[in-house]
Chains A and B, each alone.
Chain A
Amino acid sequence: MTRTLTLFRLLLAIVLAGFALGARAQLSIEITGAGASRFPVIIPIFEHEGQLPNSVTDVVRADLDRSGLFSLVDLGPLALPESVMPDLPAMRGRGADAVLTGSVVAQGSGRYEVRFRLFDTQTQLELGAMALPMTASQNRLVGHRIADFVYEKLTGQPGYFSTRIAYVVKSGPNFELQVADADGMNAATALRSREPIISPAWSPDGQRLAYVSFEQKKPIIYVHTLATGQRRVVSNFKGSNSAPTWSPDGSQLAVVLTKDGQSQLYVLNADGSGVRRLASSSGIDTEPFWGRDNNIYFTSDRGGSPQIYRISAGGGSAQRVTFDGNYNVSPRLSADGKLLAFITRNGGRFQVAVQDLASRQTTILTDSARDESPSFAPNGRMILYATESGGRGVLSAVSSDGRIKQRLTVKAADVREPAWGPQPRQ
């Protein structure tokens, strides 16, 4: 059993490596740590999948395996048609807690339908079924949707496989703002520049990115519509314009401006109009993150060292949130508002930490030295961040309990400034 599983993993790794080589992206993911107990699942090859140029099943399997929460129990090349009730006790006998069956049905004129069902081998119950239409080229899109379905049914939380990530690639003197699927595939360049690009922030609808570009030799904030490439300068005041974060309804941005002196927090409308000051301090205020609870978390050195504070988006007085250590920066709140991820300096090393805001318990999640820019998956389970490996910038992800670790790398380039996009509307 262990041997077949190992062989399967190896095959999976080869398949994944093949994908990575074939992609324009060259962003490849390596799992560097997994959950202690993984949920064993059987996912046989979808019936009649051979009529598609590229596999759907492989995408589903790779997503679930990479999540660190599931282990794939091998059933060999046998397909289990979606229309047939699988032998659940036999599947249980093979060590699986759940089984996903699926079929690809040709609908004519290049269209297909993928039908699939998920079963619990313990209760012998069907957990759900769905049918998704697709074209031959949509195998990844549909595979991610199916993986999301399985993830949600088995963990009770929404999956994140259909989400996108944004990040900046630096190769030589060139900077590219790229957008890729959460598995690093399908990467596309949104902006190319000879000057730095930092702090990308997704609009809540996932259609636009706000970011800071230095293309005019100073930091200016742009809002960029991904589908059209249309960009708009939303903040170009005297001095620096940086650190954009969207309001939960997408109508406003909190930003950092130096137009009235040193770096301070302002709020403006998403079209750049109506700028107003949010807070005043005698020190640096920066890196605002606008939480769904309508609190804005930010970094300030008003107390002598950089620490994280919180202020209502409506203004008022700021409360200090971090107290351990003398360098806590880059706050990001999970969507449920319970966890705060940030970067802490720990004995000269910069590491990803999370604070449970209710208990105020802080946990350091990484053992690296140069972590930056944490960003939660929409379901709060994973945190994407930038770090350094072998003298190059790489992206890594860690689960918010610290157990699961992944690394995303692009060969011969520095990758930095990751931002995990929102759940797409379906």
Chain B
Amino acid sequence: MKKLAIPALLSLILAACSSTGPTDTAAQVEDRSSGTGVATVTADSAAGSGIAALTDPNNILSKRSVFFDFDSYVIQPEAKPLIEAHARFLVQNPQMKMLIQGNTDERGSREYNLALGQKRADVVKQALLLLGAREAQIESVSLGEEKPRCDAPTEACFAENRRGDMLYSGEF
């Protein structure tokens, strides 16, 4: 009973965190009397924090990225231990939710890359589901080429940017 209570409490705290975060989509309308006929709006975004085990650099769970080859959405063998660790965490913490963000390098069409990033996020999700995580726990989305971790137009950067990132409740 006590075992169950801790994650429940945790999820309450996380829920509280996310609800106090600036997630409100209500637009801040800035009046602009410039005669351009265009009003300026500032978009807000959420920023939450995770839990200790997920951020401890000595814990494999602090690693969140699965990398891909060019124009590919096949998971490399070296990513298996990482995916297994996160699947175990999701199984043991059924209240935890995960958002998987797929990314691509900057070459080609933004919308096509958004679709390619989705495929990468989807294969990571599928792998986690096969290892016992539940469908309701995981959402897969794509950031396409929009959020490069590395900015230079080099092959090393392109490789760094072709990845899926696993984020937990409160981190997105």
A195 at the B interface (CB under 8 A): yes
A335 at the B interface (CB under 8 A): no
Contact: A372 with B109, CB < 8 Å? yes
Q: How far is the CA of A218 from the CA of B122 in the complex (A)?
A: 14
Task: Tell me which of B107, B141, B143 has the highest count of chain A C-beta atoms within 10 A of its own C-beta.
Answer: B141
On chain B, the residues within 8 Å of A217 by CB distance are: 45-46, 99, 101, 141, 167, 172
Contact: B45 with A417, CB < 8 Å? no
Interface locus among B29-37, B60-68, B78-86: B29-37
Inter-chain residue pair count (beta carbon < 8 A): 161
A411 at the B interface (CB under 8 A): no
Q: Given A179-B38, A229-B29 in contact, is the A216-B45 Cβ separation under 8 Å?
A: yes
A293 at the B interface (CB under 8 A): no
Interface size class of B (residues with CB under 8 A): 35 or more
For window 124-150 of B, CB contacts with A under 8 Å fall at: 139-144, 146-147
B57 at the A interface (CB under 8 A): no
Min distance, Cβ A345 to any Cβ of chain B, angstroms: 8
Min distance, Cβ A147 to any Cβ of chain B, angstroms: 19
Binary per-residue interface labels of chain A (115-152) against chain B in the complex, 1 for a CB within 8 Å, 0 otherwise: 00000000000000000000001000000000000000
Instruction: For B40, give its contact among A188, A239, A299, A343 (CB under 8 Å).
Output: A188
Contact: A239 with B139, CB < 8 Å? yes
A413 at the B interface (CB under 8 A): no
On chain A, the residues within 8 Å of B35 by CB distance are: 137
B118 at the A interface (CB under 8 A): yes
Q: Given A198-B110, A329-B108 in contact, is the A230-B27 Cβ separation under 8 Å?
A: yes
Contact: B115 with A263, CB < 8 Å? yes
A350 at the B interface (CB under 8 A): yes
* 30 A/B residue pairs, CB under 8 Å, sorted by A: A179-B36, A186-B36, A188-B32, A188-B37, A190-B39, A190-B41, A191-B42, A192-B41, A196-B146, A199-B110, A216-B25, A217-B46, A217-B101, A217-B141, A218-B101, A218-B141, A228-B29, A229-B30, A230-B27, A231-B27, A240-B114, A240-B141, A258-B141, A284-B112, A286-B111, A306-B112, A329-B112, A330-B111, A372-B110, A416-B110
* Given pairs A217-B99, A345-B108, 4 additional interface contacts (CB within 8 A): A193-B42, A215-B44, A218-B141, A239-B140
The 4 closest A-B pairs by CB, nearest first: A229-B39, A188-B38, A196-B146, A193-B43
